[in-house]
Structure 1
Amino acid sequence: MRLSLLDAEEKVMKHAFTLIELLVVIAIIAILAAILFPVFAQAREKARQTACLSNAKQIGLGVRMYVQDYDETFPIWHAYSKKTAAVHYGIEVDLQPYVKNLPLFKCPDDAGGPFQRSDVPGTTSYFAAYGSSYYFERRCFSVVNGFSISNNFPTTRTTAIVIDPQYERPAESVLMRDEMFPWFNPAVDTAGYWGYSGFYQAWHAQGGSAIFADGHAKFLVGAGQMRTLFKDPAAQVPY
């Protein structure tokens, strides 16, 4: 019986971890975590990019349905119209009968920005402040003097109705885009080409979504790629 107990204790000791072995295991787990956590973060960001692009594609389809219903006329332009206003104007409102889902206009990476936070205190995103994470290119939409809203006030710009046949290069003309792109960062854009000093806040790590006049959407991944595009129907005003 005594020998059996000693044998049992010896077997237990043989299967126990020493302190060195435990430290080695912990070190291996820490190394694996350091390797895998960035991978998981990248996977989550990729999922957000995919969701953003999916939203953009549905919005592009909504624009095309609107244009067909209104004799090839593009929606009336409004920009930075506060959702807190008594009557909120926005292109996303005009497109609602077609997209049936206002949250489509919220980019999953919409982190807001300095201008929005000071303009509409208490909001944490452009979507919460203005109803859309996407910037609407004024030249690509119909502008109505005294009705189109610009920074919460009716614009005094000359009325200009935009119709489908005016687009010379619709597949290269951007109607809407994510408000923020990485290359808008003043630390990167030291020459001030994009003009986001005082407005910039990092959103997507690698680029942003753009919606084109022909209805398709694309995730842009570089400033050079963006500069090949246009922001007017006549394709005369490049990015």
Structure 2
Amino acid sequence: MNRRAFTLIELLVVIAIIAILAAILFPVFSQAREKARQSSCLSNLKNMNTALLMYTQDYDETFPLTAPDNVRAFFTTPWDRTPASPLGYARRQGFWSNSIAPYIKNWQVYTCPSAQERNIFNIDPATNPMRFTAAFTLNGYLQAWPIAGTPSPAKLITFWEGLGKQTIPGFATVSPLPHTKAGFPPPSGALYRYSETGDECTTQIWWTTVFEATHRVHAEGSNYAYADGHVKWIRNPSENSPWAAVDANGIPTSLWVPDFCFTTGCCPALWHRPTIE
């Protein structure tokens, strides 16, 4: 029997067909994989939000401390995993991620598979073996805020992917920060708390610092949780997103603020205000 070998042209045709199929299928596989990550992230966010609301039911329907050290934006989690003084331990233990820990079955719930780690604080896994990563940021305006003071819980953001498409190993975060002159350093005063009538009510939000990253975490948007318990994906930017605009890399350039900002000069983040109606 004569056995004819493939000619060079036939081999090139086969290679071309394989290349075309790969160009068509690889993006499809990549999109499917990212869709699965987004679903996993949304599920974790739902569990986090449920834990937060369970906490409020056990503590007089009040949200936990978001920033127990006045306006600190981030704290180590778990609270006892880094050397510190007893006072440092107490402050860390009161941070939101540690406060709701008893209502969460495992640490993996805090994470999002789409986010990338940035170890900007050089956390050493050898000395901190239970290294923790929180992909979700708590709304800082909820600092010890009563649920009764939220007229539209279905509009009020509780958790969001405030650091964009990144996480910080060993830390959980708060953003926006409760930034008013209602609080003073201990032992002379109270904790900071959001106030639309505060002496200094401009928003501080972690989006122009070393934490800067794209907020197109999942396709063209990111996941959000709300005070009524529901979670959903929102395009960034959009009317329902905190961001009014982002640049070509998905990094926010402007933030939605309430109408009264233009008459009073008090400009909190619109979709994070506990009093939003």
> TM-score normalized by structure 2?
0.60
1:196 Cα shift?
A: 2.9
Matched, 1:179 2:176: no
Q: Which residue of 2 aligns with 1:199?
A: 211
> In structure 2, do the counterparts of structure 1 residues 65 and 163 end up closer, same or farther at CA, with 3 Å as the change threshold?
same
Determine if contact 2:152/2:276 at 8 Å carries over to the other structure. yes
Q: Which residue of 1 aligns with 2:136?
A: 134
Q: State the one-letter code of the partner of 1:214.
A: D
- 1:94 and 1:57 map into 2 onto residues whose CA distance is 17
In terms of fraction of residues, the more strand-rich structure is 2
Aligned length: 189
In terms of fraction of residues, the more helix-rich structure is 1
Of 157, 165, 186, the match for 2:148: 165
Q: State the one-letter code of the partner of 1:232.
A: R
Q: Which residue of 1 aligns with 2:179?
A: none
- 2:133 and 2:10 map into 1 onto residues whose CA distance is 57
Q: Which residue of 2 aligns with 1:150?
A: none
Determine if contact 2:224/2:232 at 8 Å carries over to the other structure. yes
- 1:196 and 1:176 map into 2 onto residues whose CA distance is 19
Of 94, 98, 101, the match for 1:96: 101
> In structure 2, do the counterparts of structure 1 residues 39 and 95 end up closer, same or farther at CA, with 3 Å as the change threshold?
same
5 Å-filtered alignment, 1:73-152, equals 73-78=62-67, 79-83=73-77, 85-86=82-83, 87=89, 88-89=92-93, 90-113=95-118, 117-118=119-120, 120-122=121-123, 131-142=133-144
> In structure 2, do the counterparts of structure 1 residues 85 and 122 end up closer, same or farther at CA, with 3 Å as the change threshold?
closer
Post-superposition Cα deviations, 1:40-87, rounded to whole Å, max 9, x if no partner, equal: 111111111111111111111112211112121111213411345333
Q: State the one-letter code of the partner of 2:235.
A: V
Matched, 1:226 2:231: no
Determine if contact 1:137/1:174 at 8 Å carries over to the other structure. yes
Q: Which residue of 1 aligns with 2:19?
A: 30
Determine if contact 2:162/2:206 at 8 Å carries over to the other structure. no
1:177 Cα shift?
A: 0.5
1:207 Cα shift?
A: 1.5
Unaligned runs of 5+ in 1: 1-7, 143-161, 183-192
> In structure 2, do the counterparts of structure 1 residues 130 and 200 end up closer, same or farther at CA, with 3 Å as the change threshold?
farther
Matched, 1:211 2:225: yes
- 1:201 and 1:112 map into 2 onto residues whose CA distance is 11
Higher Cα radius of gyration = 1
Q: Which residue of 1 aligns with 2:60?
A: 71
Alpha-carbon RMSD = 2.7
- 2:37 and 2:113 map into 1 onto residues whose CA distance is 6
Post-superposition Cα deviations, 1:14-47, rounded to whole Å, max 9, x if no partner, equal: xx42221111011100111111111111111111
- 1:52 and 1:207 map into 2 onto residues whose CA distance is 13
Determine if contact 2:139/2:157 at 8 Å carries over to the other structure. yes
- 1:35 and 1:101 map into 2 onto residues whose CA distance is 39
Determine what percentage of the aligned residue pairs are the same residue. 37
Runs of 4+ in 1 over 6 A off after TM superposition: none
- 1:135 and 1:80 map into 2 onto residues whose CA distance is 9
> TM-score normalized by structure 1?
0.69
1:221 Cα shift?
A: 1.5
Determine if contact 1:181/1:204 at 8 Å carries over to the other structure. no
